Amino acid sequence: MAKQVVPEAARQRRRRTHGGTVLSEEIIVRTALRVLREHGSTGLTARRLGAALGADPSTLYRYFAGMDDLARAIGDELMGRALDSWTSTGDWRADPRALGRAIHASYLAHPQAAVLTASRVTGRPREIAVDETILGILRGAGLPDPVAVGVYHAFIDQSLAFAALDAGSLALADEARTRDEEMWRSTYARLPAESHPNIAATAHLLARRMPHSAFPAALEMLLEHIDVQLSRVGA
Amino acid sequence: MAKQVVPEAARQRRRRTHGGTVLSEEIIVRTALRVLREHGSTGLTARRLGAALGADPSTLYRYFAGMDDLARAIGDELMGRALDSWTSTGDWRADPRALGRAIHASYLAHPQAAVLTASRVTGRPREIAVDETILGILRGAGLPDPVAVGVYHAFIDQSLAFAALDAGSLALADEARTRDEEMWRSTYARLPAESHPNIAATAHLLARRMPHSAFPAALEMLLEHIDVQLSRVGA
DNA sequence: AGCTTATGCCAACGCAGTTGACCTTACAGT
DNA sequence: ACTGTAAGGTCAACTGCGTTGGCATAAGCT
C-alpha cells in the first residue's frame, strides 16, 4: 500500500534502512537538495535518491505521495529558509526589500531545486506565513486594503517568477552557462548595425547587464510604486 | 545516425510516413502544441508525438537533436507569434504595453507549452527581433542608453518570468485548477484572525485578486518607472 | 533508367516512476 | 516481560520514457 502516506507528525515506528540510516521527511528533503545540486534539476530520481539515502526507492512512497509531492516539499523548505533568514525592522521600505531579496536568494542558493519548484504556488504553511508577513508590512505602511492586496500579489508572484527564471540560467551546466553568457558578446555584439541598430548601439551595456538578474531592478520599481500610492493616499 | 540533423531549409527528399503525412519542422511543432494542449505539459513524449504524426518516434530525431531541442523550437514559435500579433503605433507608452501583453498572451495561449519553454532564453532570431524592438522603443522615447538597457532587461525578463508562472497555474488539470482557486476561499479564508490577522482582514479581496495574473500590474509599474526616469532626464 | 542518400521504420537498450506482495521490527497494552 | 499490530522497510515487476544502430525505400539528380 503505497498510497497511504503517514504525516510526519504522526510517525512513531521508525525502522532502519538497509544502509543503516533512519529516515524522516527532513532528511529526505535535505538529501534531495544535495542530489539536485550534484546531478542537476533533472537528476533527482527515485532510484538515485534512494541510493543516496541507503534505502530502496519504494521507501520514498511511505513519506511522499510521489515525486511531485516531494518536489512541493522541497519548495516549501526553500520558502521556510527564506523567512527564517529574514528579520523585521519595522521600516516599510526596508522590510519588503529585504524579504524579497531573501526569497530570491533562498531559491537561487539551490538553483536546480528552484527550477523544479519555483513555478508553483503550494499554499503550504510556510508560504502562508510569508503572505501574512507581506500583507502586514503593506497594510502597516498605510496602504488601503485593495491597493495592499494588489501590491502583495505582484510582490509574491514577481519574487517567485524571477526566482524561477534566474535559477534556470544558474542551473545550467558550467559549459552551457558560459556559452550562454558569451552569447551576448558573440551573437548579439556581432549583429550588423543596419538590421539591429539599437542592439548594436548598446551592445557593450547589454553584455555587462544581461548576465545579472533583473530582479533587484524590478523590486525597486515595486517599492517606487508603493511610494507613489502612499503619496496619493496622503500618508 | 540520429545525430545528423538536416536544417529545414536544406531538406529536399520528403518521404511519406507510415500514416501518409509528410513531415516538416512546422508540422511537428504545430502537432506538438496540440499534443501539449491535450495531454498536459508533461504529456509531450516522443512516442505520443510520433503517434499523433502517424510516424515512428525515432523519425523525430531526423528533425531535432532531441526532445530538448524540440522544446526550444516550440518556444521560438510562441515568441514569433507574439511579435507577429503586434504592430507599432509610435507611442512609447502604448507600444511596450501592447508588446508585453502580446508576449504574455502568446505564451498563455499555450500554457502547457509555456511551462516547458518560457523559463529559458533561447537567443534565436525571433527573440532577438523582440529585443531590438523594445530597445528601439525605449531609446526612441528619450531614455539614456544605460537606463534603456536596464528597463529593457527588466521588461523582457519580467514578461517571460510571469508567462512561465501564470502558465503554470493555467496548465493545471481542470480538477487541480479549480481546487487551486478554491484554496483562497477555503484554506486562506478560514485562517483564524488571531494568527493571521492580515490575511483574515483581506480574505475577500484576496479571493478576488489571486486567481488572476499580476503581470498587468507589474507591467504598469514598469511603465510608471519609465515615466519617472523620463521626467528626471527632462524630456 | 539508375544511383545516391535522405528519410522513414524497427528492435532494443537502460532508466524512469510506481505498485503489490512480502518481511520485520518498534511500540502499545497487558 | 510478553505479545499483537501495523508502520515502515525490502523486493520484483510493470509500463512507459528518450534514444540509438541497423536496415529499407523512395525521392530527386544526372
Q: Does residue B1 carry a pLDDT above 50?
A: no
Reported confidence tier of residue A168, pLDDT bands at 50, 70, 90: confident
Question: Domain with B122 in it: what CATH number?
Answer: 1.10.357.10
Structural domain harbouring A129? 90-233
Tell me which residues have their CB below 7 A from strand D: A 4, 6, 11-19, 22-23, 54-59, 62-63; B 1-3, 12-16, 44-48, 57-58, 61, 66-68
Mean pLDDT, residues B145-165: 94
Predicted confidence (pLDDT) per residue in A86-142, tens digit: 999 999 999 999 999 999 999 999 999 999 988 877 777 888 899 999 999 999 999
Can you give the pLDDT at residue A183? Answer: 65
Question: Domain with A19 in it: what CATH number?
Answer: 1.10.10
Do both A216 and A132 map to the same domain?
yes
- Domains in chain B, number: 2
Do both A142 and A228 map to the same domain?
yes
A196 with B132: CB under 8 angstroms? Answer: yes
Q: Does B142 map to a domain?
A: yes
CB contact under 8 A, A217 and B153: yes
CB contact under 8 A, A205 and B115: no
| CA closest to B163 among chain A residues | A161
Cell of B21: 503525412
* A 95-114: CB under 8 A from B: none
Q: Is B158 exposed, middle or buried (0-12, 13-18, 19+ CB in 10 A)?
A: buried
Q: What is the DSSP letter of B17?
A: P
What percent of chain B clears pLDDT 90, i.e. is strictly above it? 68
Do both B118 and B33 map to the same domain?
no
Do both B60 and B95 map to the same domain?
no
Largest CA-CA distance found in chain A, in angstroms, rounded: 72
What is the CA A4 to C1' D5 distance in angstroms? Answer: 17
Mean pLDDT, residues B131-155: 96
Between A186 and A61, residue with greater pLDDT:
A61
Other Cβ atoms closer than 10 A to A218: 25
Q: Which nucleotide is nearest to A13 (CA to C1')?
A: C26
Predicted confidence (pLDDT) per residue in B29-68, tens digit: 999 999 999 999 999 999 999 999 999 999 999 999 999 9
Cell of A127: 508560504
CA gap A201, A222 in Å, rounded: 29
Do both A101 and A44 map to the same domain?
no
Angle formed at CA B86 by CA A189 and CA B222, multiple of 5 degrees: 70
Do both B55 and B93 map to the same domain?
no
Q: Does B72 map to a domain?
A: no
Burial readout B27-60 (b: 16 or more C-beta within 10 A, e: otherwise) = ebbebbbebbbeeebeebebebbbebbebeeebb
Q: Does B74 map to a domain?
A: no
Q: Does A172 map to a domain?
A: yes
Integer CA distances (angstroms), B233 to A88, B143, B219, in order: 36, 8, 21
| CA closest to B189 among chain A residues | A128
Q: Does A21 map to a domain?
A: yes
Do both A130 and A197 map to the same domain?
yes
Can you give the pLDDT at residue A121? Answer: 73
Reported confidence tier of residue A70, pLDDT bands at 50, 70, 90: very high
Q: Is A3 exposed, middle or buried (0-12, 13-18, 19+ CB in 10 A)?
A: exposed
CA gap A11, A14 in Å, rounded: 7
CA gap B100, A131 in Å, rounded: 27
Predicted confidence (pLDDT) per residue in B6-32, tens digit: 888 888 888 999 888 999 999 999 999
Which of B33, B65, B97 is at the close of a domain? B65
Concatenate the DSSP letters of all residues of B116-171 into one string: HHTTS----HHHHHHHHHHHHHHHHHT--HHHHHHHHHHHHHHHHHHHHHHHHHHT
Which of B18, B33, B65 is at the close of a domain? B65
Which of B50, B65, B80 is at the close of a domain? B65
Do both A48 and A112 map to the same domain?
no
Do both B102 and B210 map to the same domain?
yes
Q: Does residue A14 carry a pLDDT above 60?
A: yes
Predicted confidence (pLDDT) per residue in B128-139, tens digit: 899 999 999 999
Q: Does B71 map to a domain?
A: no
Can you give the pLDDT at residue B158? Answer: 93
| B149-153 contacts at long range (C-beta below 8 A, 24 or more positions apart) | B149/A202, B149/A205, B149/A206, B149/A209, B150/A209, B150/A214, B150/A217, B151/B222, B151/B225, B151/B226, B151/B229, B153/A209, B153/A210, B153/A214, B153/A217
Do both A101 and A195 map to the same domain?
yes
Q: Strand, helix or coil at A99? A: helix
Can you give the pLDDT at residue B3? Answer: 59
Can you give the pLDDT at residue A10? Answer: 80
Q: Does B81 map to a domain?
A: no
Can you give the pLDDT at residue A226? Answer: 95
Q: Does residue A30 carry a pLDDT above 80?
A: yes
Reported confidence tier of residue B235, pLDDT bands at 50, 70, 90: low
Do both B111 and B178 map to the same domain?
yes
Q: Strand, helix or coil at B86? A: coil
Can you give the pLDDT at residue A175? Answer: 47
Predicted confidence (pLDDT) per residue in A169-222, tens digit: 888 755 466 556 666 666 777 788 999 999 999 999 998 998 899 999 999 999
pLDDT mean across residues, chain A: 89
CA gap B169, A131 in Å, rounded: 18
Do both A30 and A106 map to the same domain?
no
What is the CA A120 to C1' D14 distance in angstroms? Answer: 31
Q: Does B150 map to a domain?
A: yes
